[in-house]
């Protein structure tokens, strides 16, 4: 019985619930995960959503112990991924990050996470708060927008239903109702547009809707003088019904392409017919018909249309309420469910008033008009609840990251030592591939040097299955390039399956590198797509090195002494230094070495882990690419054994 009662409550709530509750971008995952403890400090935090988003104000990152900001620039977004850059070399300890975004439908959302740097650290808790609360101004603007939109469209429908019955006398009072309804929609829509994030789908739709409301309102104002403009005003009012559909989630990729927007449009049209018709009974009919016979006939015609509208509301609204709640308990355990209960509490007596109107009062127009006024006010109360509902997250839309159990991040699972390997950067991810007969393995490494799980990965269009932390495997043809898709973003690797082994060749390259007297090279290093730096290194064996970053710091190392400065105008700051082995290449324990092209070797250093691609000239590196966690590097060698000098600074 309790389950049946709850189900009935869902159905009744569905009768009252518009099908156009707007979509929210759902948080899928963060890197690092909330509560994670990572061995090395990440250079950025990435936040992934299921829909396109834009960065909003309020993003923050602080050290838990001092509350000092550790941001290293503005947050950026690429499609569904928000990247929050962090300062280099974060000390061991806990850190909190707050992300703040606007989804494509205009909703502002915030969230927080905490992570710790350093093995053995306790799992941290966030010291930052998050709030994207719905203010009363937002509720008022949305209420005005929906009231005006529904009233205007319903008035236009009422005019179509009663035009032949009431004749030209209908025009002036109907034009007045259309004008004031469109004015209310314009006021609410303009306020919503003012607060909207530019470039979102919501922003675009609201700009069009406000323009339509202005044009329709102007036509309605002039209609008493220019009769043909009444049709223009009515058409504008009906066209506005499309705005909530186009701004809502019925156009999301996971929704039925035709059925979802059609259901939303039908539900809105039914609600408009009911509310606008009631307002027309109250404000239009008394001025359009002086005799009781025509008034009663108009009320009869509206009553028939209202009955159809309630049936359509039941069909489309119940389906929406059921799909937006994944369990009956979410009626009282979520804000969205509680708002539905409030709407239902208003809707139940409203059904009684409507039945009374249609059954007993339809022939007593004066009493019917008073009762219709009460009914319209009650519907307006439901519209206020709708203003809340369009901002609340439905029960089925709870963030996957919040619902998922906490999993301690693990180092990536690496491929077999015999596979031919290569790697590329994809946003903040390192994407590596390993090719073996009949199959390919994809390894995803996040900025925190752990394997990234739960991604949609395909190889040549074939879905890959998990093979460990950050490891994905799929059957693959043995010829042609490897085409890898990660969450729909595609990388192509020209990687042969039968590449000759190059372990001996790589050993000779390493010996030649270590035997060099001087080395000069330019290094481009990035941890995200937007923060690359270029540095000139000059190395003089056995223990001298200088570097100069373009537009940034510089340093000199000679044995156990070091000098640094922040930029070309700063003073040199001396310090002690452990002597460096300056001719040691970046790799130390290479495996998977193969000659993938003439004078080009790829290999994997499992101790980092890092993937390398080295192009040779004369047995020494010419161009060297390294792909590792938050470390995407390209070295271009200027020369080996060339004249070079590293000396202490002159001042």
Model confidence pLDDT, tens digit, residues 264-321: 788 888 888 877 777 887 788 877 777 777 877 877 787 778 777 777 766 666 655 5
CA dihedral sign, ordered 453, 456, 457, 462 = positive
What pLDDT was estimated at residue 454?
A: 82
Q: What gap in Å lies between CA 541 and CA 632, rounded to an integer?
A: 26
**Contacting residues for 67 by C-beta, under 8 A, at least 6 apart:** 127
What pLDDT was estimated at residue 200?
A: 64
What pLDDT was estimated at residue 4?
A: 36
- Both 453 and 548 in one domain: the answer is no
Top pLDDT among 228 and 399 is at 228
Question: Tens digit of pLDDT for each residue in 546-575?
Answer: 999 988 889 999 999 999 888 888 899 898
Question: Tens digit of pLDDT for each residue in 323-354?
Answer: 555 555 555 555 455 555 555 554 555 555 45
Within a 10 A sphere around the Cβ of 105, how many other Cβ atoms? Answer: 23
Mean per-residue pLDDT, 512-531? 89
Do the domain assignments include residue 47?
no
**Contacting residues for 116 by C-beta, under 8 A, at least 6 apart:** 36, 37, 38, 92, 93, 94, 95, 122, 123, 124
Token pair 């901002």 is at which residue? 391
What pLDDT was estimated at residue 366?
A: 47
Do the domain assignments include residue 461?
yes
Q: Which of 71-75, 370-374, 507-511, 620-624 has the lowest mean pLDDT?
A: 370-374
Question: Tens digit of pLDDT for each residue in 569-615?
Answer: 889 989 888 888 899 999 989 999 999 999 999 999 998 899 999 99
Percent of the residues in the chain that have a pLDDT greater than 70, as a whole number: 75
595 φ, ψ (degrees, to nearest 5): -90, 95
Q: Which of 90-104, 433-447, 463-477, 489-503 has the lowest mean pLDDT?
A: 90-104
What pLDDT was estimated at residue 299?
A: 75
What pLDDT was estimated at residue 436?
A: 94
- Both 472 and 527 in one domain: the answer is no
332 in Cβ contact with 325 (< 8 Å): no
Top pLDDT among 508 and 108 is at 508
Do the domain assignments include residue 453?
yes
- Both 547 and 632 in one domain: the answer is yes
Top pLDDT among 203 and 185 is at 185
- Both 517 and 470 in one domain: the answer is no
What pLDDT was estimated at residue 593?
A: 97
Mean per-residue pLDDT, 383-411? 50
If you ran DSSP here, which 8-state letter would residue 257 be given? T
Asked whether the predicted pLDDT for residue 522 surpasses 90, the reply is yes
Q: Which of 221-230, 382-391, 551-560 has the lowest mean pLDDT?
A: 382-391
Mean predicted lDDT score pLDDT of the chain: 79
Asked whether the predicted pLDDT for residue 399 surpasses 60, the reply is no
- Both 486 and 512 in one domain: the answer is no
What pLDDT was estimated at residue 381?
A: 54
Asked whether the predicted pLDDT for residue 479 surpasses 80, the reply is yes
What pLDDT was estimated at residue 537?
A: 96
Q: Which of 257-261, 273-277, 427-431, 547-551 has the lowest mean pLDDT?
A: 257-261
Asked whether the predicted pLDDT for residue 421 surpasses 80, the reply is yes
If you ran DSSP here, which 8-state letter would residue 250 be given? G
Domain stops at, among 493, 515, 533: 493
What pLDDT was estimated at residue 112?
A: 86
Q: Distances from the Cα of 126 to the Cαs of 34, 47, 600, in angstroms?
A: 9, 16, 47
- Both 489 and 512 in one domain: the answer is no
Do the domain assignments include residue 196?
no
Instruction: Give the burial class of 27: count Cβ atoms within 10 A of its Cβ; 0-12 exposed, 13-18 middle, 19 or more buried.
Output: buried
83 in Cβ contact with 44 (< 8 Å): yes
Asked whether the predicted pLDDT for residue 395 surpasses 70, the reply is no
Top pLDDT among 249 and 289 is at 289
Q: What gap in Å lies between CA 174 and CA 285, rounded to an integer?
A: 9
Q: What is the CATH number for 553?
A: 2.50.20.10
Q: Note down the domain range covering 462.
A: 421-493
What pLDDT was estimated at residue 323?
A: 53
Q: What gap in Å lies between CA 59 and CA 113, rounded to an integer?
A: 12
- Both 465 and 560 in one domain: the answer is no
What pLDDT was estimated at residue 5?
A: 37
- The beta strands (E) that lie in 446-572 are given as 457-459, 462-463, 465-468, 471-475, 482-486, 489-493, 518-526, 533-540, 544-549, 554-558, 561-565
643 φ, ψ (degrees, to nearest 5): -60, 125
Q: How confident is the model at residue 56 (pLDDT cuts 50, 70, 90)?
A: confident
- Both 528 and 431 in one domain: the answer is no
Q: How confident is the model at residue 120 (pLDDT cuts 50, 70, 90)?
A: confident
Q: Do strands 489-493 and 462-463 pair parallel, antiparallel, or not at all (unpaired)?
A: unpaired
What pLDDT was estimated at residue 14?
A: 38
If you ran DSSP here, which 8-state letter would residue 412 be given? P
What pLDDT was estimated at residue 97?
A: 92
If you ran DSSP here, which 8-state letter would residue 169 be given? G
- Both 569 and 484 in one domain: the answer is no
Question: Phi/psi zone of residue 151: left (φ > 0), alpha (ψ -120 to 50 degrees), beta?
Answer: alpha
**Contacting residues for 606 by C-beta, under 8 A, at least 6 apart:** 414, 589, 591
Top pLDDT among 64 and 136 is at 64
Length of the chain: 651
Count of domains forming the chain: 2
Three-state secondary structure call for residue 278? helix
Q: Which of 286-300, 499-513, 614-628 has the lowest mean pLDDT?
A: 286-300
461 in Cβ contact with 58 (< 8 Å): no
Q: What gap in Å lies between CA 568 and CA 550, rounded to an integer?
A: 10
**Contacting residues for 646 by C-beta, under 8 A, at least 6 apart:** 538, 539, 540, 544, 545, 546, 556, 557, 558
Top pLDDT among 363 and 226 is at 226
Do the domain assignments include residue 515?
yes
Do the domain assignments include residue 510?
yes
- Both 484 and 536 in one domain: the answer is no
Question: Tens digit of pLDDT for each residue in 439-457?
Answer: 999 999 988 788 888 889 9
Asked whether the predicted pLDDT for residue 58 surpasses 70, the reply is yes
What pLDDT was estimated at residue 131?
A: 54
Domain stops at, among 465, 493, 521: 493
Top pLDDT among 28 and 124 is at 124
Asked whether the predicted pLDDT for residue 166 surpasses 90, the reply is no
Do the domain assignments include residue 108?
no
Top pLDDT among 155 and 385 is at 155
Mean per-residue pLDDT, 90-112? 80
What pLDDT was estimated at residue 154?
A: 87
Do the domain assignments include residue 586?
yes
- Both 446 and 509 in one domain: the answer is no
- Both 522 and 441 in one domain: the answer is no
Domain stops at, among 449, 470, 493: 493
Strand partners for 146? none
Percent of the residues in the chain that have a pLDDT greater than 90, as a whole number: 36
562 in Cβ contact with 575 (< 8 Å): yes
């Amino acid at each position: 019985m309790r389950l049946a009662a709850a189900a009935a409550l869902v159905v009744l709530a569905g009768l009252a619930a518009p099908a156009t509750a707007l979509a929210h971008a759902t948080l899928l995952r963060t890197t690092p995960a909330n509560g994670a403890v990572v061995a090395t400090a990440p250079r950025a935090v990435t936040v992934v959503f299921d829909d396109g988003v834009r960065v909003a104000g309020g993003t923050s990152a602080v050290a838990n112990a001092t509350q000092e900001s550790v941001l290293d620039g503005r947050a950026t977004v690429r499609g569904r991924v928000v990247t929050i850059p962090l300062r280099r070399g974060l000390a061991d300890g806990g850190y909190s990050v707050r992300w703040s975004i606007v989804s494509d439908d205009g909703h502002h959302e915030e969230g927080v996470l905490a992570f710790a740097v350093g093995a053995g650290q306790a799992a941290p808790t966030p010291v930052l708060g998050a709030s994207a609360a719905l203010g009363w101004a937002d509720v008022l603007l949305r209420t005005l927008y929906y009231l005006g939109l529904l009233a205007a469209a319903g008035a236009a429908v009422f005019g179509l239903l009663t035009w032949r019955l009431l004749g030209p006398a209908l025009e002036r009072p109907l034009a007045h109702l259309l004008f004031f309804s469109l004015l209310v929609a314009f006021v609410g829509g303009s306020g919503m547009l003012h607060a909207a994030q530019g470039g979102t789908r919501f922003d675009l739709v609201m700009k069009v809707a406000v323009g339509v409301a202005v044009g329709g309102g102007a036509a309605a104002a002039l209609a008493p003088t220019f009769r043909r403009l009444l049709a223009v005003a009515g058409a504008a009012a009906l066209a506005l019904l499309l705005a909530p559909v186009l701004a809502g989630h019925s156009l999301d990729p996971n929704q039925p392409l035709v059925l979802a927007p059609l259901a939303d449009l039908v539900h809105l049209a039914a609600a408009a017919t009911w509310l606008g018709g009631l307002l027309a009974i109250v404000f239009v009919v008394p001025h359009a018909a002086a005799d009781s016979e025509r008034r009663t006939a108009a009320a009869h015609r509206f009553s028939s249309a209202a009955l159809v509208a309630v049936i359509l509301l039941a069909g489309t609204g119940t389906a929406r309420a059921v799909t937006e709640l994944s369990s009956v308990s979410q009626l009282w355990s979520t804000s969205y469910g509680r708002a539905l209960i409030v709407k239902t509490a208003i809707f139940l007596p409203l059904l009684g008033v409507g039945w009374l109107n249609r059954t007993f009062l339809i022939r007593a127009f004066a009493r019917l008009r008073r009762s219709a006024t009460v009914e319209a006010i009650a519907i307006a109360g439901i519209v206020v609840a709708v203003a809340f509902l369009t901002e609340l997250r439905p029960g089925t839309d709870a963030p996957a990251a919040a619902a998922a159990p906490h999993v301690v991040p693990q180092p990536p699972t690496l491929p077999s030592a015999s596979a031919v390997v290569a790697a590329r950067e994809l946003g903040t991810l390192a994407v590596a591939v390993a090719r073996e007969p009949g199959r390919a393995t994809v390894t995803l490494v996040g900025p925190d040097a752990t394997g990234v799980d739960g991604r949609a990965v395909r190889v040549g269009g074939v879905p890959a299955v998990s093979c460990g932390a950050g490891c994905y495997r799929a059957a693959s043809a043995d010829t042609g390039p490897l085409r890898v898709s990660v969450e729909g973003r595609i990388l192509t690797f020209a990687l042969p399956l039968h590449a000759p082994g190059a372990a001996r060749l790589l050993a000779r390259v390493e010996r030649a590198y270590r035997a060099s007297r001087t080395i000069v090279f330019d290094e481009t290093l990035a941890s995200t797509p937007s923060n690359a730096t270029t540095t000139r290194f000059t190395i003089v064996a056995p223990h001298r090195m200088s570097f100069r970053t373009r537009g940034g710091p510089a340093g000199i190392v000679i044995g156990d002494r070091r000098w640094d400065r922040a930029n070309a105008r700063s003073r040199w700051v001396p310090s002690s230094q452990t002597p460096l082995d300056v001719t040691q290449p970046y790799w130390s324990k290479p495996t998977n070495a193969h000659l993938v092209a003439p004078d080009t070797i790829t290999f994997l250093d499992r101790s980092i882990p890092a993937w390398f691609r080295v192009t040779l000239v004369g047995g020494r590196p010419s161009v060297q690419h390294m792909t590792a966690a938050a470390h995407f590097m390209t070295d271009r060698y200027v020369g080996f054994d060339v004249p070079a000098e590293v000396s202490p600074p002159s001042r």
